[in-house]
Amino acid sequence: MFHTLRSKLLVFFILIAFVPMLVVGFISYTAQKQEMTNHAEKSLSMQSSNIAADISRFLEERVNDAEYLSRNPVMMNPSSSLLDIRDQMYYFLDIHTIYYDTYLIDDEGIVIGDTENEVVGHDLSDRPWFSQAMEGKTFMSDIYYSTILDEPVLVIAAPVYDRRQNVTGVISPSFNLESLEDMLEGYASEQQETGWGGYAFLLNEEGTVISHPEEEHILELNYFDEQGVTKKSIDQVVDDREITKMIDGEVHSFSKIESFPEFHHEWYVGVSVEESELYASLNNLLMKYIISYGVILLFLLFAVYRLSAYLVQPVQQLVETTRNFASGGGHDRKYVNAYEEVNHLNATFDHMTRQLEQRENSHKKSTMVLEATDNGVLAIDRNTKRITLFNRMCEEVFQRDKNYVIGTTVDEVMTYSKPFASFVKSGDIDHLLETMEDSCQFEMECQCDGELRTYFLSVSNLPTMEEEPTKKEMLIVFYDLTEKRQMERELLRSEKLKVVGEMSAGFAHEIRNPLTTIKGFIQLFKERSSEENQKHYPLVIEEIDRVNKIMNELLNIANPNPKEEKTTANVERILKDIILLQESQMKKNHIDLETFFQGDIPDMEVNVNKLKQVFINLIQNGIEAMPDGGRMNIRTRLEDGYSPSEQRVVIQIQDTGIGMNSSTMEKLGTPFFTTKETGTGLGITTSYRVIEEMDGTINVSSETNQGTSFTISIPVKVLESVQ
Ligand code: ADP
Ligand code: MG
């Protein structure tokens, strides 16, 4: 239940706010309670002591009254008549209305005067108060039950002296005990006004109730026995000014009535108040505390509830968004503007999710590319030889689902995929896994599904995310070249066939022409005389020579032994020799020749006759392209490469002749291709062949009616022995 942030916050806040408040409240309540209890108890005991003082004063007054009466001169005069004395007694009763009767007892103990006239003549000499009074001491009895009067009484006896201070008798005024009870009741009614109920009562030293609002208790009830206390414990209560808690929910407080010389009894004034009334204010206080604390708690709960919501809501929202994002539900980015920390957190989360999305997108893209490509992509861990990447193309080629392959070793896959086994063996992948340092590319053939297939493999180390480049995994990217190679082979074959066809046609044409001529002559020879024939023999020989020439040129192209006849020569020297031979023809054709020779071209190893043939062919073609004269430029230069071994000799033969159109340019080099009536169409073919043999190149540029330029470039090959 308390696992959520919100419940924790709630509990925490309530603890830190409410518990101290409760403690403070409790302390203040107990302090106030103590004070109020003290106050209540003190005022209770104060009341009892006040009553005690009142009663004590009351009793003293009664003693004084008796002594006052006893000192009446009429009383003191032994010669006073009984009548006068009685007058004085009545007079006393008139003044002191509290009294209802007065006895005068002579020194024998016989009642000689009684205002009520009821007990005159009674002998009271056995009464203790009588003997006490006769000794000269005013005496006050306890309250006791008078059998004569049949009611509780309190007797006051004061000695009557004569002029010589001899005790002549005893005077005993009887007062109404109800006045004592009235005093106690007066207290009770006072109490009613203050809010406390209760009553007051009197106990003597034996615990007998001597005055009580309920008259039936008087002299009938023993408080000590009733409440199970002793005089000692009550004395203790009086001394400590405590209150005693008695049963029946009443609280009793006691005070002792002070004794004085005429009063030797130990009387206690008891004040009784209902406990609930005494502590009523205390209960009110408790109620007030409970209500105010309840209100504060409610308010606090509400405030804490709101505060925890304020704190927790943005976090909950973030949790919700994160959960949604994690389960692939996207990221809707709707946040409540909360406090700064959470706003920062939201911004960071946004940034993070955006980056994650981007990363995921690019990852998806690369996975898609990997799956869509027609290249097989395969990665192998070099340590464990386990396959870590196997794309769709691999699945097709090796006929295995990638889910079965990824994580298994190369050897395992080889056991159940024959194409894969053949692939690994042909590509020597095992060896590469162990030894390969850098990347490498190669073409290989392997047996796949019963047919021989050609693959181009690019093998490299798989780059890792780590800073240090590792060679942990090897990446093989391969693609199928089988079709391409097949097409190339077919193209080559058809190309060859075409060339053979063209050659055969040209060859047939070239050979058939002289043969037809020779055949014609031979038929003529049969019909004509040998003299006439004689004239035509040279023509026949010429045609046979032509056939021979064609055969020689064809042999040149075939060139069964290219390394033969190689000698060290100078290219410029060879050119100059040729030019010398051709000069007369050029002059005849009105051709101006200009030569630009480099001059320091090194001697090199060449087949002199073949190179001469190339130069003759090209110069001859140039002359033939300028029937109406023109200009011929022959240039040589040495081109430097990166090293002396890469030096090249460049020879350019340029004319201002008829030039060539694009279709002629296209067919240039094809055997027997010629645009001339008596041409063989083998000159350019032969030249290309010779220069190719020398690892050189021929470039042609030509424009119709502007001229043609042939540029030959041959690497300088120098024999060390020659140098
Ligand atoms: P032939 O000279 O016997 O015709 P070649 O092989 O020497 O055979 O030349 C083939 C063809 O190339 C020529 O018939 C001609 O049309 C063209 N040709 C070669 N050289 C030139 C050139 N310098 N100017 C114009 N056409 C040329
Ligand atoms: Mg030619």
Residues 300/19, Cβ–Cβ less than 8 Å: no
Please say whether the dihedral angle defined by the alpha carbons of residues 467, 469, 470 and 476, taken in this order, is positive or negative. positive
| CA of 673, nearest ligand number | 1
* Single pTM value for the model: 0.46
Q: 373-480 — its CATH code?
A: 3.30.450.20
| Atom 16, ligand 1: residue with shortest CA distance | 675
Residues 614/683, Cβ–Cβ less than 8 Å: no
Q: Please state, in angstroms and rounded to a whole number, the distance separating the CA atoms of residues 653 and 582.
A: 14
Fold match flag (373-480 vs 491-558)? no
Specify the 3-state DSSP secondary structure of 637. Answer: strand
Q: Please state, in angstroms and rounded to a whole number, the distance separating the CA atoms of residues 262 and 139.
A: 5
The rounded Å distance from CA 621 to ligand 1 centre is 5
The rounded Å distance from CA 589 to ligand 1 centre is 17
| Atom 7, ligand 1: residue with shortest CA distance | 683
Is 664 exposed, middle or buried, given 0-12, 13-18 or 19+ CB atoms closer than 10 A? middle
b/e per residue, 684-698, with b = 16+ CB within 10 A? Answer: bbbbbbbbeebebeb
Q: Which of 654, 656, 672, 684 to mutate to test the pocket of ligand 1 (most atoms within 8 A of CB)?
A: 684
CA distances to 314, 333, 349, 362, 527 from 357, in Å: 23, 13, 12, 9, 103
Q: Please state, in angstroms and rounded to a whole number, the distance separating the CA atoms of residues 41 and 35.
A: 10
CA distances to 49, 291, 670 from 685, in Å: 157, 123, 6
- Per CATH, is 491-558 categorized as 1.10.287? yes
- The helix (run of H) or strand (run of E) holding residue 508 is helix 482-527
Ligand 1 atom at minimal distance to the Cα of residue 659: 25
Ligand 1 atom at minimal distance to the Cα of residue 668: 12
Residues 66/202, Cβ–Cβ less than 8 Å: no
| CA of 620, nearest ligand number | 2
The rounded Å distance from CA 679 to ligand 2 centre is 6
| CA of 707, nearest ligand number | 1
The rounded Å distance from CA 595 to ligand 2 centre is 21
Q: Which two tokens stand for residue 382?
A: 């070099």
Query: pLDDT value at position 335?
Result: 65
| Atom 27, ligand 1: residue with shortest CA distance | 621
The rounded Å distance from CA 620 to ligand 2 centre is 6
Query: pLDDT value at position 42?
Result: 84
Residues 475/387, Cβ–Cβ less than 8 Å: no
Angle between helices 482-527 and 530-558 (to 10 degrees): 170
Q: Please state, in angstroms and rounded to a whole number, the distance separating the CA atoms of residues 254 and 264.
A: 18
Please say whether the dihedral angle defined by the alpha carbons of residues 544, 673, 653 and 687, taken in this order, is positive or negative. negative
71-176 CATH pick, 3.30.450.20, 1.20.1050.10, 3.40.50.300, 3.30.465.10: 3.30.450.20
Tokens 């007079």, located at residue: 91
Show me where the domains of the chain are located: 28-61+177-294, 71-176, 312-367, 373-480, 491-558, 567-715
Query: pLDDT value at position 128?
Result: 85
Q: Which two tokens stand for residue 97?
A: 């209305």
Q: Which two tokens stand for residue 321?
A: 């968004």
The rounded Å distance from CA 77 to ligand 1 centre is 202
Q: What is the DSSP letter of 262?
A: T
The rounded Å distance from CA 683 to ligand 2 centre is 5
Q: Which two tokens stand for residue 217?
A: 């208790």
Query: pLDDT value at position 558?
Result: 63
Query: pLDDT value at position 721?
Result: 44
Query: pLDDT value at position 252?
Result: 86
Fold assignment, 28-61+177-294:
Beta-Lactamase (3.30.450)
Ligand 1 atom at minimal distance to the Cα of residue 686: 6
The rounded Å distance from CA 665 to ligand 1 centre is 10
Ligand 1 atom at minimal distance to the Cα of residue 673: 10
Q: Please state, in angstroms and rounded to a whole number, the distance separating the CA atoms of residues 621 and 642.
A: 35
Ligand 1 atom at minimal distance to the Cα of residue 658: 25
Query: pLDDT value at position 334?
Result: 65
Q: Which long-range contacts (CB under 8 A, 24 or more apart) does 273-277 make?
A: 273/44, 273/191, 273/196, 273/197, 273/198, 274/196, 274/197, 274/198, 274/249, 274/250, 275/245, 275/249, 275/250, 275/251, 276/249, 277/195, 277/196, 277/197, 277/198
The rounded Å distance from CA 658 to ligand 2 centre is 14
Query: pLDDT value at position 559?
Result: 57
Ligand 1 atom at minimal distance to the Cα of residue 682: 6
Query: pLDDT value at position 723?
Result: 39
Q: Which long-range contacts (CB under 8 A, 24 or more apart) does 461-467 make?
A: 461/436, 462/379
268, 65, 84, 49: which is closest to 176 by C-alpha? 65
Q: Which two tokens stand for residue 434?
A: 């162990």
| Atom 20, ligand 1: residue with shortest CA distance | 621
| CA of 657, nearest ligand number | 1
| CA of 683, nearest ligand number | 1
Please say whether the dihedral angle defined by the alpha carbons of residues 337, 341, 344 and 349, taken in this order, is positive or negative. negative
Task: Write out residues in the chain with pLDDT < 70, as ranges.
Answer: 1, 330-336, 465-470, 556-564, 718-723
CA distances to 350, 617, 633, 652 from 594, in Å: 81, 18, 5, 12
Distance of CA 24 to the CA centre of its chain: 41
Contacts of 60 (CB under 8 A, 6+ apart): 260, 262, 263
Q: Please state, in angstroms and rounded to a whole number, the distance separating the CA atoms of residues 235 and 232.
A: 5
The rounded Å distance from CA 573 to ligand 2 centre is 22
Query: pLDDT value at position 642?
Result: 73
Q: Which two tokens stand for residue 320?
A: 């919700």
The rounded Å distance from CA 664 to ligand 1 centre is 9
Backbone angles phi, psi at 344, to 5 degrees: -60, -45
Ligand 1 atom at minimal distance to the Cα of residue 622: 23
| Atom 19, ligand 1: residue with shortest CA distance | 621
The rounded Å distance from CA 614 to ligand 2 centre is 10
- Per CATH, is 567-715 categorized as 3.30.565.10? yes
Q: What is the dihedral of CA 292, 298, 303, 306, to 10 degrees?
A: -170
Tokens 């939201």, located at residue: 346
Distance of CA 69 to the CA centre of its chain: 107
Contacts of 723 (CB under 8 A, 6+ apart): none
| SS3 per residue for 645-711 | HHCEEEEEEEECCCCCCHHHHHHCCCCCCCCCCCCCCCHHHHHHHHHHHCCCEEEEEEECCCEEEEE
Query: pLDDT value at position 682?
Result: 85
Please say whether the dihedral angle defined by the alpha carbons of residues 613, 617, 622 and 627, taken in this order, is positive or negative. positive
Contacts of 411 (CB under 8 A, 6+ apart): 385
Q: Which of 621, 690, 698 to mutate to test the pocket of ligand 1 (most atoms within 8 A of CB)?
A: 621
The rounded Å distance from CA 675 to ligand 2 centre is 10
Residues in the chain: 723
- In this structure, the residues whose C-beta lies within 6 A of any atom of ligand 1 are 617, 621-622, 625, 655, 657-660, 664, 668, 673-676, 679-684, 708
Is 597 exposed, middle or buried, given 0-12, 13-18 or 19+ CB atoms closer than 10 A? middle
Q: Please state, in angstroms and rounded to a whole number, the distance separating the CA atoms of residues 434 and 416.
A: 23
Query: pLDDT value at position 468?
Result: 61
Residues 424/410, Cβ–Cβ less than 8 Å: yes
| CA of 674, nearest ligand number | 1
| Atom 25, ligand 1: residue with shortest CA distance | 659
- Supply the Cα-derived Rg of the chain in whole angstroms: 77
Ligand 1 atom at minimal distance to the Cα of residue 680: 3
Could you give the angle at the alpha carbon of 499 between the alpha carbons of 496 and 501, nearest 5°? Answer: 110
Q: Please state, in angstroms and rounded to a whole number, the distance separating the CA atoms of residues 104 and 112.
A: 6
Q: Please state, in angstroms and rounded to a whole number, the distance separating the CA atoms of residues 479 and 455.
A: 6
Ligand 1 atom at minimal distance to the Cα of residue 675: 14
Q: Which of 617, 652, 674 to mutate to test the pocket of ligand 1 (most atoms within 8 A of CB)?
A: 674
Please say whether the dihedral angle defined by the alpha carbons of residues 545, 551, 556 and 559, taken in this order, is positive or negative. negative
